A and B are shown apart, each in its own frame.
Chain A
Amino acid sequence: MKGVPESDFLRLFVRHETSLRSYARVLMPSWEAVDELMQEASVVMWRKLGQLEDADGFLPWAKVILRFEGLRIRRDFSRDRHDFSEDVLTLLAEEAAEVSEDIWEMEREALERCLTSFAPHHRELLLAPYRGEGRVSKIADTTARSVNSLYKLLGRLREKLLTCVETRLQESTAL
């Protein structure tokens, strides 16, 4: 019998959560918006689970739902600041969905390895924006540097990290 039982839904969702969050980040302007999208989309996925023929098709199917829910949520965003047009978001969503899961995973794995090559205080700064509001300011306080100079350093470190990731990816594809 084809189909995915409801009891398997949570297992599939948890297994693919990292991939789905990465894809959602392409569509949404902040992590708070990603959380909102994941919540809304999970409800839709649950409701439409009957459309899914087998568990292997879960990830691409879930990405389609994320895309449509993401566009819907962004339409409702406050208009007090600029937001990307629906055309641009659709292009981003479609092209991102065409990238194989292997590539997404290779990139994340390369980043994890590259992070280990940074000095501990640089790694701390790279991760600071994801450890709660005010973390960069706290580092500025303890290191007697200005927040502005730390953000500039953070920008340079992020570029260095990206270069490291790209080098690793080129090496692995050359093998």
Chain B
Amino acid sequence: MKNSLPEDWGTLVDGYLLGTIRNEDSIRLEQILAGSAAARSDFRRRCNLESALRSAAASSGAEPAPLPSTVRKDRWKAPLRWAAAILTLGALGSPLAWALTTTKLVATISRVSSMSDGGFEKTVGMLPSGFPTRFGTWSGDPSQTAPVADVPHSEGTRALRLISAFSEGSTDPAAARSCDVFQLVDLRPLHSALSSGEAFLELSADFLDERTEASPEIHFLCKICLFSGDPAKIGPDWPASLGQALASSAEFLFSRGQNPAWRRVHTKTLLTKNADFALIHLAAGCQPDRWKGPLELGHQFVDNVSLSLRTQPVLPVRQIKP
């Protein structure tokens, strides 16, 4: 397919995507796109990859700044633009009359303080095994807090080393496909934040694959699930109890080793009003078709886990009957 494209095709599209294209090249690019389905197909793929590169840059960016409990308006242009857009919709799109309320037009972001020890500084040694039975403690499969040798640590002085995969109820090591750690987080203190507007929970974590040689592929998981009711009932039925989740969100990071570096992963979910607690689930694992035999871990770390509450302004309009 690409044989039919000019030699400098990649340069042309890159120039367009990076905003450095000259007018005459833009005209030529348009002519090629108009006459070639292969060019349009390749252009679409490059646009998609451009989008993925931008996401990767966002998720592995610089150290995040400390989070204030309330942020200035000008630092949150996107949500405010969104709210402003809704205002515009109210003014232009409805046959009914709309009017401003006195609602505060401020997006907020704050750390969820009921999540404990995201830097693994307070937990010393091996994590308790099994599913957590109370809020604010880490536990799960074999894993241990430890200093990170030879690689700059992500945050603080320690990180959590994911030591080995474990399969509940199986003695076959080949059946173990992941090392999972969990924390239950009490969300009830956040209910007051849900009185107006939309609220999201954003979970972030740094992961490190310390293997220096090219190695079989593993994945890291950063997941959050929201539940209502009794947290003690989640563990005994795990993972079937996942079906009771009110909402969940997950993000994967894949690695084959070679380039040890911390990489940050984010995932976010809408916080529903009836959510009483969240389950934070972090893991290193592999797909059965990608790693034959027992999964070898021990060079994988997680650190700097944070849970943030983001609120967005309530729809700043109210409807007045005609």
Which residues of A line the B interface, CB within 8 A? 10-11, 14, 18, 21-22, 25-26, 29-31, 35, 39-40, 42-43, 46-47, 81-85, 87-88, 91-92, 95-96, 99, 104, 107-109, 111-113, 115-120, 123, 126-131, 151, 155, 158-159, 161-162, 165
Residues of B within 8 A of A26 (CB): 43-44, 47-48
Q: Which 9 interchain pairs have the tightest Cβ spacing?
A: A130-B57, A22-B51, A127-B57, A108-B52, A82-B26, A25-B47, A111-B52, A130-B54, A43-B85
The distance in angstroms between the C-alpha atoms of A21 and B261, with both chains bound, is 28
Cβ distance A94 to chain B, nearest Cβ, rounded Å? 10
Q: Classify chain B's interface size.
A: 35 or more
Q: Does B56 contact A (CB under 8 A)?
A: yes
**Is A18 touching B55 in the complex (CB atoms < 8 A)?**
yes
In the complex, 6 of the A-B residue pairs with CB atoms within 8 angstroms, ordered by the A residue number, are A18-B55, A43-B88, A82-B26, A107-B49, A117-B256, A123-B259
Partner of A96, one of B19, B44, B49, B50: B44
**Is B53 touching A111 in the complex (CB atoms < 8 A)?**
yes
The distance in angstroms between the C-alpha atoms of A69 and B85, with both chains bound, is 14
Partner of A127, one of B20, B56, B85, B217: B56
**Is A99 touching B93 in the complex (CB atoms < 8 A)?**
no
The distance in angstroms between the C-alpha atoms of A131 and B86, with both chains bound, is 29
Q: Does B14 contact A (CB under 8 A)?
A: yes
**Is B27 touching A82 in the complex (CB atoms < 8 A)?**
yes
For B51-68 the 0/1 string (1 means CB < 8 A from A) is 111111110111000000
Contacts A26-B47, A40-B85 given; indicate if A112 touches B259 (C-beta within 8 A): no
Residues of B within 8 A of A43 (CB): 85-86, 88-89, 93
Closest chain A residue to B51, Cβ basis: A22
Cβ distance B179 to chain A, nearest Cβ, rounded Å? 19
The distance in angstroms between the C-alpha atoms of A21 and B23, with both chains bound, is 25
Residues of A within 8 A of B78 (CB): 35
Q: Does B319 contact A (CB under 8 A)?
A: no
Q: Identify 11 new A-B residue pairs, CB closer than 8 A, beyond the known A126-B53, A130-B54, A162-B45.
A: A22-B52, A25-B50, A26-B44, A35-B78, A43-B86, A46-B86, A81-B26, A116-B259, A127-B53, A130-B58, A131-B57
The distance in angstroms between the C-alpha atoms of A10 and B86, with both chains bound, is 12
Q: Does B212 contact A (CB under 8 A)?
A: no
The distance in angstroms between the C-alpha atoms of A99 and B40, with both chains bound, is 12
Best-surrounded residue of B23, B57, B89, B256 (most CB of chain A within 10 A):
B57
Partner of B40, one of A95, A129, A159, A165: A95
Contacts A18-B55, A43-B85 given; indicate if A92 touches B33 (C-beta within 8 A): yes
Closest chain B residue to A107, Cβ basis: B48
Q: Does B75 contact A (CB under 8 A)?
A: no
Cβ distance B208 to chain A, nearest Cβ, rounded Å? 12
Q: Does B103 contact A (CB under 8 A)?
A: no
Cβ distance B301 to chain A, nearest Cβ, rounded Å? 16
Cβ distance B311 to chain A, nearest Cβ, rounded Å? 12
Q: Does B320 contact A (CB under 8 A)?
A: no
**Is A113 touching B254 in the complex (CB atoms < 8 A)?**
yes
Residues of B within 8 A of A11 (CB): 270
